[in-house]
């Protein structure tokens, strides 16, 4: 398809012609409703959850999809036979155990060379026994692992008073919406009925017969290849206590906790039109509805219908996206990129359609009883993907607001957003700002960083609460600055104060070498670009020494060929990691950051 689109474009001889070709190409990729669709894959622990739940609930997977998923997993298998936690990762027990199960569920024979090599890799590491906690969970649900080998997920945690520092509602929404369904399934001790495939998987992944394993001895065992966030002593003490509690948990408390969790999950399903915030809780919630309501229920049928929202067919095969897409995010950035060119008037129809999508994607209501179900207000905000998904994000709201303002200011839409809807966007941005001046993702920060003492994932860091981020703060700051330019009299005092707090936060986040650490892209290039963009929108330019220090940092990382390249290891080690080759995306980010203070 791409080759066909490119074949219609003339060979450029000038930069302007190349730019026209680029805009023309992207205009052909725009969908009928105005957005741009894109690959949002990367994690290698999403498809296994899909395969496991589809297998348990006996949902059909089309032959074409099955073949493409197998092709994807085959393409991402490492030379040593294993799979990693993400597409750039070295092999891990987590990635290998779960993707092995996915391949078998999808119909790959145990004698297949790909699976033989995976078993050899696992056999050197006690099979799947030392898989991290999320892997233990999925394998226990599949009945390849025993719940006895899983530390208690303590469903009764939701019954604590909400003022309690460790109450579930204080967790980051992505962690909370994963923990709650996991704890429901743990509380029920649900496991897939044993059939011939489960018997085979047990024999293929376990070093000894299932009934001969001392499962409890593996609760805290994690393979060295997987361990990123070791248990704290506090977490080990907590587990020791709740594992004892599990033996004596009063039945009425367990029922009370599970009933409340299920009610909250029902509201997540309702608020998100059964899409859910992400693919993990999408599949766990779907399984729980199947267990609770039955396979013929309307609730389960509606859930099953939305699974395809997450599936993406790319060059490397079919994968499960990390969300149901990035539609709003990509569309808002396309609008901002196009307005920077002097060809903008040639593509007015593209702007119009993009604005139509930005318009329809804005969430214009608060969910009923949102506070009861641990949700914040949403009216006026924008999501990362679609309005149907129902979760707003601070940076997406900032970027959506910018896109709407651009189209309105330049008369690129016959139906610009009303003042009241733009005011709603500003209202929610003002409400989402933390006392630090920074912005988190979907909600204000609710818990203390001490919550990380209880991070039980073993493979992720800083996931327990919603932290401030340079990128989220920059996007919100830019949106507020552009709004202030167009509406200088609307809540001026409050908008000015929010802008000042955001500026102060960003400068506090600047490192001694001038860089800013990004968390939602790779990594210091990404964060420094965002910081310079935000501070530039607020009026800071090359006359400020702090800005020049950030520019000096970017300039110092330029490679001899003129480009920039940074690896994902920057995110792992929290220090800049130079890539051996220059990369187009990193180069674009660096150039955008360097341009801002001088334009």
For residues 341 and 359, give the distance between their C-alpha atoms in angstroms, rounded to a whole number. Answer: 23
What proportions of the chain, in percent to the nearest 5, are helix, strand and coil?
A: 55, 5, 40
For residues 578 and 486, give the distance between their C-alpha atoms in angstroms, rounded to a whole number. Answer: 41
Q: Which letter does DSSP use for residue 70 in this model?
A: H
What are the extents of the domains in the chain?
47-315, 328-509
Average pLDDT, integer, range 448-460: 96
Note whether 444 and 172 are within 8 A (CB). no
Note whether 155 and 186 are within 8 A (CB). yes
What is the Cα Rg of the chain in Å?
Answer: 25
Res 1 pLDDT > 60: no
Question: Tens digit of pLDDT for each residue in 75-87?
Answer: 999 999 999 999 9
Note whether 333 and 92 are within 8 A (CB). no
- Classify the phi-psi angles of 42: left when phi > 0, otherwise alpha if psi is within -120 to 50, otherwise beta: left
Per the confidence metrics, is the pTM higher than 0.85?
Answer: yes
For residues 315 and 95, give the distance between their C-alpha atoms in angstroms, rounded to a whole number. Answer: 21
DSSP secondary structure string for all residues of 159-228: GS-TTSTT-GGGS-HHHHHHHHHHHHHHHHT--PPP-HHHHHHHHHH-SS-GGGS-GGGGTT---TTT-S
Q: How far apart, in Å, are the Cα atoms of 479 and each of 199, 324, 394, 411? A: 56, 24, 10, 18
Note whether 522 and 571 are within 8 A (CB). yes
Catalytic residue among 330, 395, 466, 533: 395
Structure token digits, residue 122: 């696992």
Res 447 pLDDT > 80: yes
Confidence of residue 4 (pLDDT cuts 50, 70, 90): low
Q: Among 4-8, 429-433, 482-486, whose mean pLDDT is lowest?
A: 4-8
Res 426 pLDDT > 90: yes
Question: Tens digit of pLDDT for each residue in 360-371?
Answer: 999 999 998 999
Q: How far apart, in Å, are the Cα atoms of 507 and each of 371, 501, 575, 583? A: 33, 10, 18, 28
For residues 20 and 30, give the distance between their C-alpha atoms in angstroms, rounded to a whole number. Answer: 15
125's CB contacts (< 8 A; 6+ apart) are 93, 223, 225
Q: Do domains 47-315 and 328-509 have the same CATH topology?
A: yes
Note whether 582 and 559 are within 8 A (CB). yes
Structure token digits, residue 15: 């930069």
Q: Strand, coil or helix: what is 150?
A: coil
CA nearest 532: which of 512, 556, 507?
507
Average pLDDT, integer, range 244-273: 98
Residue 8's pLDDT is 74
For residues 219 and 235, give the distance between their C-alpha atoms in angstroms, rounded to a whole number. Answer: 13
What is the CA 82 to chain-centroid distance, rounded? Answer: 24
Phi, psi (rounded to 5 degrees) for 311: -90, 135
Residue 599's pLDDT is 75
Note whether 86 and 47 are within 8 A (CB). no
Average pLDDT, integer, range 318-341: 97
Question: Tens digit of pLDDT for each residue in 33-66?
Answer: 999 999 999 999 999 999 999 999 999 999 999 9
Give the number of other Cβ atoms within 10 Å of residue 505's Cβ: 21
Question: Tens digit of pLDDT for each residue in 116-157?
Answer: 999 999 999 999 999 999 999 999 999 999 999 999 999 999
Give the CA angle between residues 433, 435, 438 to the nearest 5°. 50
Phi, psi (rounded to 5 degrees) for 38: -155, 160
113 among known catalytic residues: no
Structure token digits, residue 151: 């530390």
Structure token digits, residue 290: 């199947």
Confidence of residue 598 (pLDDT cuts 50, 70, 90): confident
Question: Tens digit of pLDDT for each residue in 391-406?
Answer: 999 999 999 999 999 9
Residue 10's pLDDT is 87
Residue 9's pLDDT is 84
Helix or strand run (H / E) with residue 582: strand 578-583
Question: Tens digit of pLDDT for each residue in 494-541?
Answer: 999 999 999 999 999 999 999 999 999 999 999 999 999 999 999 999
Structure token digits, residue 14: 């000038």
Residue 6's pLDDT is 60
For the chain, the average pLDDT equals 97
DSSP secondary structure string for all residues of 264-325: HHHHHHHHTTT--SSHHHHHHHHHHHHHHH-TTSHHHHHHHHTGGGGEEEETTEEEE-SSS-
Q: Strand, coil or helix: what is 589?
A: helix
Structural fold of domain 328-509 = Glycosyltransferase (1.50.10)
Res 3 pLDDT > 70: no
The CATH architecture annotation of domain 47-315 reads Alpha/alpha barrel (1.50)
What is the CA 191 to chain-centroid distance, rounded? Answer: 27
Average pLDDT, integer, range 411-427: 97
Confidence of residue 2 (pLDDT cuts 50, 70, 90): low
Determine whether 405 is exposed, middle or buried from the number of CB atoms within 10 Å of its CB (0-12, 13-18, 19+).
buried
Q: Which letter does DSSP use for residue 418 in this model?
A: P
Note whether 362 and 407 are within 8 A (CB). no
For residues 476 and 395, give the distance between their C-alpha atoms in angstroms, rounded to a whole number. Answer: 6
């Amino acid at each position: 398809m791409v080759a066909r689109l490119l074949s219609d474009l003339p060979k450029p001889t000038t930069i302007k012609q190349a730019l026209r070709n680029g805009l023309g190409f992207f205009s052909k990729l725009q969908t009928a409703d105005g957005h741009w669709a894109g690959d949002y894959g990367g994690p290698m622990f999403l498809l296994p959850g899909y395969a496991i739940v589809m297998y348990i609930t006996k949902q059909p997977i089309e032959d074409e999809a099955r073949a493409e998923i197998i092709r994807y997993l085959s393409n991402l298998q490492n030379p040593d036979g294993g799979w990693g936690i993400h597409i750039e990762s070295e092999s891990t027990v987590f990635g290998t155990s779960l993707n092995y199960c996915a391949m078998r569920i999808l119909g790959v024979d145990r004698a297949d060379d790909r699976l033989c090599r995976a078993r050899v890799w696992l056999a050197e590491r006690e099979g799947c026994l030392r898989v991290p906690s999320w892997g233990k969970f999925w394998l226990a649900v599949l009945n390849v692992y025993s719940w006895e080998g899983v530390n208690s997920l303590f469903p009764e945690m939701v019954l604590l008073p909400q003022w309690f520092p460790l109450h579930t509602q204080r967790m980051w929404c992505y962690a909370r919406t994963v923990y709650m369904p996991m704890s429901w399934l743990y509380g029920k001790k649900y496991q897939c009925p044993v059939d011939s495939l489960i018997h085979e998987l047990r024999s293929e992944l376990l070093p000894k017969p299932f009934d001969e394993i001392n499962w409890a001895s593996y609760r805290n065992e994690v393979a060295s290849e997987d361990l990123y966030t070791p248990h704290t002593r506090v977490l080990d003490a907590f587990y020791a206590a709740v594992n004892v509690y599990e033996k004596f948990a009063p039945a009425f408390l367990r029922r009370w906790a599970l009933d409340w969790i299920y009610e909250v999950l029902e509201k997540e399903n309702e608020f998100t039109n059964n899409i859910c915030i992400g693919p993990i809780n999408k599949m766990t919630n779907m399984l729980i509805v199947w267990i609770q309501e039955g396979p013929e229920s309307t609730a389960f049928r509606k859930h099953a219908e939305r699974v395809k929202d997450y599936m993406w067919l790319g060059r490397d095969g079919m994968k499960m996206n990390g969300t149901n897409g990035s539609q709003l995010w990509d569309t808002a950035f396309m609008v901002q990129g196009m307005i920077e060119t002097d060809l903008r008037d040639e593509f007015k129809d593209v702007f119009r359609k993009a604005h139509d999508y930005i318009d329809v994607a804005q969430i214009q209501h608060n969910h009923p009883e949102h506070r009861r179900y641990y949700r914040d207000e949403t009216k006026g905000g924008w999501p990362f993907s679609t309005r149907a998904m129902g979760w707003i994000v601070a940076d997406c709201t900032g970027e959506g607001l910018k896109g709407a303002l651009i189209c309105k200011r330049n008369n690129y839409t016959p139906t610009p957003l009303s003042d009241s809807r733009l005011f709603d966007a500003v209202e929610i941005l003002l409400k989402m700002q933390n006392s630090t001046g920074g912005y988190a993702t979907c909600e204000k920060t609710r818990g203390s960083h001490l919550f990380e003492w209880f991070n039980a994932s073993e493979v992720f860091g800083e996931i327990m609460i919603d932290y401030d981020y340079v990128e989220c703060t920059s996007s919100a700051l830019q949106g507020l600055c552009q709004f202030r330019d167009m509406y200088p009299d609307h809540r001026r005092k409050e908008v000015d104060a929010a802008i000042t707090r955001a500026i102060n936060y960003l400068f506090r986040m600047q490192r001694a070498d001038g860089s800013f650490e990004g968390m939602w892209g790779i990594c210091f290039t990404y964060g420094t670009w965002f910081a310079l963009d935000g501070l530039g929108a607020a009026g800071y330019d090359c006359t400020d020494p702090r800005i020049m220090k950030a520019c000096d940092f970017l300039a110092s990382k330029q490679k001899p060929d003129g480009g920039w390249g940074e690896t994902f290891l920057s995110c792992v080690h929290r220090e800049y990691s130079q890539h051996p080759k220059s990369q187009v995306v990193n180069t674009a980010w660096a150039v955008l950051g360097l341009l801002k203070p001088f334009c």
